[in-house]
Structure 1
Amino acid sequence: MRGTDVTMESKEIEKLLIDLINIPSITGSDDENNCARFIYDWLNKLDYFKNNPKGLFFYKTPVECETNRTLYSVAAFMRAKDITANTIILIGHFDVVDVECYAEIKSYAFDPLKLKNKYSKKHLSAEAYEDLKSGKYLFGRGSMDMKCGLAVEMSLLSDFSYDRTLFNSNILFLALADEEANASGMRGMIPFLNELKEKEKLKYCVAVNTEPSDAAMPGIDKQVIFTGTIGKLLPAFYFVGKEAHVGNYYKGVSASLMMAELVSLVEAEPSLSDEAFGECYPSWINLESRLIKKGYSVTVPNKAVAYFNCFTVTKTPNDVLKEMQKFAQNACKNCEIKLLNSYKSLKNRGYEGEQVENQSFTVITYAEVYKIAKSKYYGDFDKYIDENININEDKDLREKCLDLLEKILDISELSGPLVVVGFLPPYLPHRTTMAKNTKNTKIMSAVEEIMCTTEDKFNEKAIVANYFTGLCDLSYTGFEGNISDLIVLSENFPGWGKLFSIDVEGILALDNIPIINIGPKGKDAHKNTERVEIEYSIKIFPKILLKSINIIEKYCEIKK
């Protein structure tokens, strides 16, 4: 049954949401593909796709880092009743993070109806406990992030199938795998988007994601309309020291010292933060810093690695690479001064040990190391790379990239002390609709009207925010730079094209599709108290999203 607003009844949307949550589509699991199949089969029952089966795609997504796994996403293209090029993209992901944080009740994490009876006070904060008692929230993994948004998008496709006058634009729906880990789903969709645009002569007016606002602004009780999404790089530093017995410390250089100096300089350094439109974002955060060694040894550590989370809103990979080189050089200089001063101090106190003469530190990019190694390798270097990438080994993707870097560094015969700078996966480009151009101006005008309509018609406070800081698939709807920036990235990225990549020409060809994120209300993404607010998210938000699309359509039809 359908209401007077030609939307699926809220009970139908809730049932669809629960059906989606019931599928334990943890990133990298077999059930990730099972969820894709469920979505495909659900859409395939709509009258539109019964009559237009070629508009529905069970799309194989390349997964560079694992040749033994096939990954699928779903695309559904629905043409408007009257022929038009204008197309609105709806995006959502169906993979979820693991459920280990649910501890002894994790077997119920995907069953919202049973889960609510399995919680005890020890599992819950005071706020979560009150929300549970209220009965106003649906708990479960994926309820908020982001199967509710996905269910609402699917409900609109059902509505559009039922009422072909609902939208004046074409609707392209993308249900994506692997958003939570390496964004393989959306990255793999870039060629598809360009092929469909060319084949069907489409104009992509806007891409709309429905991540909940709380994922980027925890605690917010307003409807937030995000007009951009923050970018992310993982700057990596590989340190090579100089071996020596610990009894002859000053004959060597500790990679541990080099790493510590770099981390001390970089972690939370204000000058490394990025800013745009009067807002500043977090500086670099150390995600990993460790020695590379096997077992116990009384040798001065000679290998270490550190990598960082780097948010971007304006900076390109080339900008960040220059910052990496600068801070690595400063760290090396600090090490040199510290070792010299330490040695002199101990010498004055009677130390008899030797010191290495003319210690010289080198900072080098991965691209330079690769070039040197290739020139020294006797044989087919590209074949060597193919044979030595541990694609199917059960290792973290970043570790696979670092393993490759180490092998190439060995071939280069470069000796320490040195620092290799480069990037690790994933890379998410920043995107914004705030940049001044005709198509963005139209969408920003639409956003202003959406905000006013949300308050006036639905009695919900709404605000506009520049960047969704929770990271999302909207990053791959364009690139705000030029091809040289992406070339710098690819050349300084161990395993690019084999372990991780972006279709460089393809992402540029998308020509920076305007983006917005507007989603349901929920709390505690990735926690054992993840939940979505039922009344708003299932009854009100579907109407807001429908109205938002209608408003966007109006502005997209304006010729100038």
Structure 2
Amino acid sequence: MISTKNEVLRFTDELVRVESIVDTTGEIAIADKLYELISALPYFQVNPNQLIKARTVDDEFERYNVLAFVEGTKDITNNKTLILMGHMDTVGIDDYTHLKDVSCSPSELMEKLKGEPLPSLVKDQLLSGEWYFGRGVLDMKSGVASNLSLLKYYAEHPEELSGNLVFFAECDEEVSSKGVLSGLKNLKKWKQDYGFDYIGLINSDFVAPLYEGDENRYIYKGTVGKLLPSFFITGAETHVGSAFEGLDPNYIAAELTRQISYNPDLCDSFLGETPAPPVSLKQMDLKPTYTVQTALSAYVYFNFFIHSWSPKDVLNKLSEQAEIAFENALTTLNERYEKFNKITNQPSTKLPWRTRVLIYEDMTKELEEEHGEKFIKHMEDFKSKLLQDSTLDTRMFAARVVEEEWNWMKDKSPAIILFYSSLYSPCLALTGKDEREDNLAEALEKAVEAIQPEYVHPIVTKNFFPFICDMSCVALNNDEEAIRAVMDNNPGWGTKHYVNYQDIRDINVPAINIGPYGYDGHKKYERIEIRYSTEVVPKITNEVIRQLIG
């Protein structure tokens, strides 16, 4: 028996008890804990160079990844290498309210929850003794614990490996993926130093029911991609007493949100699966204080999942949607203006506004051609000063850059400007494009077939992990044009935001996700089903290991 329920549960408990909220010093503490656990293993006392705690690069926070590897001795000429990956950070604990002090102490938390009014399902699972509660227990420290247990086993039995097994625990998955993007450099160095041939990666992020009554336990052969398309909307200010003499950008923003949010036409169906539609994550105007003047500008951005579309495709599709929204807004505005004039017995004329949608890179090129070096230098200085404001995240930084560039436009008639303002997470899928993908898919299929008879609920494979995860940062199928669309249309690119996509290309490893099962990730009743998460997950993962490098 390679891993037992007790061992994985013990590791899970030890990791959960280290409060490791993203963007806090807890990320240092959890890395220290993992490093301590691994360095205590006899294998790593003999081979200390095969364990590292590596600080992230280009990061405003001090935090670390932990990486280790076991070299198999079954066939020392075999450089095939499999990576087990999982993240150590968690979201915050404020949602636990009066239970915050025990949110990272599973046994204490579960005891106190017994005295709380709970939803019936939560209560039943709590009292069954078959579920384990706590912040990070599902997302995703039990997954890291499973990987740790497998690393420990093979550190004790390297003779059972005819390749190499890498353990990679990364920080900052919940916000900016600085952990995995930094860790790529370590993986690349090991590839160069030890000749590793990365043939596959198994991520261990959590899985959950997809609908009420869903009894399936899912394994994913890839992951959804994500973009953050953003819209800077300019209007024409006016006194509220003369409302129709201006154009309120909030009005345009509202119509844009109505057009895009929850729109199934913007779902990228691929390989028989469809991601959730886009939805607004922020809608605001940029008016700093209260006045009776309408706002000058508004800002909206949307979560946008992709399965096959490129960043360029999304820009084109959303440019069309923005034009539809702008036109619809103007049509309704003119109808209301006409109705208002009839009520007030005033002469009616058509309002002067026209539909105007710009893509950021086109606007910037126009400004550079028109103003030359003066504009370029001004924007370099502006971004440099803006970087000194630590309160601005990448999204607001991008908005401020667009706002400043807009000031240079000669034609300041109302417009929607489309751009990206955050990390692009590429989509991944096993489509059989090379032997590594075929081998990983086949190994997974055999692993599920071997373990399914031991477990009562169906274990079902799907193509796309439906939530954002760091698998997006280990392989890249996009060509240069697609990546250029991200770079040229992110106003913070190269200053506030940067990703070395070449690091991803240099690793470019096919990936799957075999993770713990539970409910309420990111919520106060976060919990795992103990048997599946601590017994079935390690067994399936180990079957894949044996198929590929056993």
The alignment status of 1:53 with 2:45, answered yes or no, reads no
| 1:545–1:87 Cα change, 3 Å | same
Mapped contact 1:25–1:95 kept (Cα < 8 A): yes
Deviation larger for 70-79 or 23-32 = 70-79
The alignment status of 1:405 with 2:397, answered yes or no, reads no
Give the letter aligned to residue 527 of structure 2: R
The alignment status of 1:509 with 2:506, answered yes or no, reads yes
Question: What is the deviation of 1:233?
Answer: 0.9
1:71-121 deviation digits (Å, cap 9, x = unpaired): 211111222212322110110001011111111111100111211121155
Give the letter aligned to residue 500 of structure 2: D
Matched residue, 2:110: 116
What SS is found at the alignment partner of 1:537?
A: helix
Question: What is the deviation of 1:365?
Answer: 1.7
Matched residue, 1:44: 39
Question: What is the deviation of 1:174?
Answer: 1.0
Deviation larger for 138-147 or 535-544 = 535-544
Matched residue, 2:524: 528
Give the letter aligned to residue 270 of structure 1: P
The alignment status of 1:105 with 2:99, answered yes or no, reads yes
Which of 428, 431, 434 lines up with 2:431 in the alignment? 434
Separation in 1, partners of 2:526, 2:157? 34
Matched residue, 2:538: 542
Separation in 1, partners of 2:83, 2:57? 21
Give the letter aligned to residue 71 of structure 2: R
What SS is found at the alignment partner of 1:276?
A: coil
Matched residue, 1:191: 185
Which of 183, 198, 202 lines up with 1:204 in the alignment? 198
Separation in 1, partners of 2:443, 2:141? 26
The alignment status of 1:497 with 2:487, answered yes or no, reads no
The alignment status of 1:71 with 2:63, answered yes or no, reads yes
| 1:482–1:172 Cα change, 3 Å | same
Question: What is the deviation of 1:463?
Answer: 1.5
Instruction: Compute the TM-score of the two structures, normalised by the length of structure 1.
Output: 0.91
Separation in 2, partners of 1:310, 1:281? 9
Give the letter aligned to residue 284 of structure 1: P
What SS is found at the alignment partner of 2:19?
A: coil
Mapped contact 2:55–2:65 kept (Cα < 8 A): yes
Matched residue, 2:27: 32
Matched residue, 2:172: 178
Give the letter aligned to residue 173 of structure 1: F
Q: For 1:223-238, list aligned pairs within 5 A.
A: 223-238=217-232
Matched residue, 2:16: 21
| 1:160–1:243 Cα change, 3 Å | same
Give the letter aligned to residue 48 of structure 2: P
Mapped contact 2:448–2:540 kept (Cα < 8 A): no
Which of 446, 449, 452 lines up with 1:452 in the alignment? 449
Matched residue, 1:557: none
| 1:382–1:287 Cα change, 3 Å | closer
Give the letter aligned to residue 77 of structure 1: F
Mapped contact 1:391–1:499 kept (Cα < 8 A): no
Question: What is the deviation of 1:357?
Answer: 6.7
How many equivalent pairs are there? Answer: 545
Which of 135, 139, 147 lines up with 2:141 in the alignment? 147
Mapped contact 2:53–2:64 kept (Cα < 8 A): yes
Matched residue, 2:308: 314
What SS is found at the alignment partner of 2:219?
A: strand
Question: What is the deviation of 1:546?
Answer: 1.5
Separation in 2, partners of 1:413, 1:27? 43
Question: What is the deviation of 1:166?
Answer: 2.8
1:294-325 deviation digits (Å, cap 9, x = unpaired): 22222122211111111100011000000121
Give the gaps of 5 or more residues in structure 1.
555-560
Matched residue, 1:558: none
Mapped contact 1:253–1:302 kept (Cα < 8 A): no
Separation in 2, partners of 1:385, 1:172? 44
Separation in 1, partners of 2:239, 2:455? 72
Which of 418, 422, 425 lines up with 1:425 in the alignment? 422
| 1:303–1:155 Cα change, 3 Å | same
Instruction: Compute the TM-score of the two structures, normalised by the length of structure 2.
Output: 0.93
Give the letter aligned to residue 552 of structure 1: L
Which of 336, 347, 357 lines up with 1:363 in the alignment? 357
Separation in 2, partners of 1:215, 1:413? 53
Separation in 1, partners of 2:301, 2:117? 33
Question: What is the deviation of 1:460?
Answer: 5.8
Q: Percent identity?
A: 26
Mapped contact 2:85–2:167 kept (Cα < 8 A): yes
What SS is found at the alignment partner of 1:304?
A: strand
What SS is found at the alignment partner of 2:112?
A: coil
| 1:208–1:239 Cα change, 3 Å | same
Separation in 1, partners of 2:382, 2:4? 55
| 1:483–1:216 Cα change, 3 Å | farther
Separation in 2, partners of 1:170, 1:353? 80
| 1:103–1:219 Cα change, 3 Å | farther
| 1:477–1:499 Cα change, 3 Å | same
Matched residue, 2:549: 553
Matched residue, 2:78: 84
Question: What is the deviation of 1:446?
Answer: 1.5
| 1:61–1:359 Cα change, 3 Å | same
Separation in 1, partners of 2:143, 2:30? 15
Separation in 1, partners of 2:80, 2:406? 50
Mapped contact 2:430–2:441 kept (Cα < 8 A): yes
What SS is found at the alignment partner of 2:111?
A: coil
Q: CA RMSD in A?
A: 2.4
Mapped contact 1:61–1:184 kept (Cα < 8 A): yes
Question: What is the deviation of 1:458?
Answer: 5.6
Matched residue, 1:345: 339
Separation in 1, partners of 2:376, 2:457? 66
Mapped contact 2:173–2:470 kept (Cα < 8 A): yes
1:433-481 deviation digits (Å, cap 9, x = unpaired): 1344322222222222112101245666322111110221111111222
Give the letter aligned to residue 246 of structure 1: V
Deviation larger for 402-411 or 279-288 = 402-411
